Amino acid sequence: MTLPIILALDTKDLNQAGEWIKASSDQIDHFKIGLEFYLLHGSEGIMQLREVSDFKLFLDLKLYDIPNTVKGAVESVAKLSPKFLTVHASGGAKMIEVATKALPNGSITAVTVLTSFSEDDFSRMGYKSSIADITDLMASTAIKAGATSLVCSPFEVSNLRSKFKEAVLITPGVRAEGDDLGDQSRVMSAPDAITAGADFVVIGRSITSQWDGSDLKMRKKIELIANSLG
């Protein structure tokens, strides 16, 4: 049985990413690849990683542009068959609508408010509403436009679950007890996020920081998180 974890392969090193997949693929079958890796290695790098394991791809590119440009970008990566492909919810309904049509066999995943933002950060950017209210508005717009999955912090997931029963809810900003928060502001434990309504939690450094050249410490950390999930 695999865990409801998407392991973030946040590295520019192709070989390192492959080692992390090998170390965890018996318990995790969803892996996140973001800009750090993709801008250096592109589609070819992802295809090489798929030779290590035929994993389910969370392609975290957070696309944001005019609708026609996003449509072309989605078409460019569709050959990779991402299960989830992220776009910024703030791109609006037309952008999300064309993205969903360009990826008929995958889930366009609308990213709401980044977990690195605190309420103070949000206010300083000029927002008059709370993060929760803006997340709600963005999520509603995205779902109506055809997105079938959403990214939000663990603090907004309960509200979104009550409103969008069929959407896949994915929460970054997840840390195990005692872990460094790094650049995250709105953080929760994996079991709390799942209990609140998340389908998947995205975890990166909490697990991958345990890599020391062998997979033993990484596996132990995954086991620790697995046990916490029951």
Over the stretch 104-145, which tens digit does the pLDDT of each residue have?
A: 999 999 999 888 888 888 889 888 899 999 999 999 999 999
189-200: average pLDDT: 92
Cβ–Cβ < 8 Å for 191, 230? yes
Question: Distance (Å, rounded) from C-alpha 73 to C-alpha 156?
Answer: 29
The second-level CATH assignment, the architecture, of 5-229 is Alpha-Beta Barrel (3.20)
Q: What local confidence, expressed as pLDDT, does residue 122 receive?
A: 85
| Structure tokens belonging to residue 26 | 């018996």
Domain map (residue ranges) of the chain: 5-229
Residue of 184, 119, 176, 113 lying closest to 150 (CA atoms): 113
pTM, rounded to two decimals: 0.93
Structure tokens at 123: 């206010």
Task: Specify the residue for token string 């590119």.
Answer: 61
Whole-number pLDDT of residue 172: 87
Q: Is the pLDDT of residue 185 over 80?
A: no
The chain-wide mean pLDDT, for the chain, equals 92
- Please tell me the predicted confidence (pLDDT) of residue 180: 57
Q: What is the pLDDT of residues 211-230, one digit of tens each?
A: 998 889 999 999 999 998 87
> Is the model more confident about 187 or about 212?
212
Give 1-64 as a DSSP string.
Answer: ---SEEEE---S-HHHHHHHHHHHTTT--EEEEEHHHHHHHHHHHHHHHHHH--PEEEEEEEE-
Contacts of 126 (CB under 8 A, 6+ apart): none
Percent of the chain beyond pLDDT 90? 77
Q: Phi-psi region for residue 173, left (φ > 0), alpha (ψ -120 to 50) or beta?
A: left
Asked whether the beta carbons of 169 and 149 are under 8 A apart, the reply is yes
CA–CA gap between residue 96 and residue 63 (Å, rounded): 10
**Residue among 222, 6, 1, 229 at smallest CA distance from 107:** 6
Closest CA to 173 of 148, 193, 191: 193
Q: Catalytic residues, which ones?
A: 62
Q: What's the pLDDT tens digit per position in 85-108?
A: 999 999 999 999 999 999 999 999
d(CA 112, CA 149): 11
pLDDT at 208: 94
Place of tokens 């029951």: 230
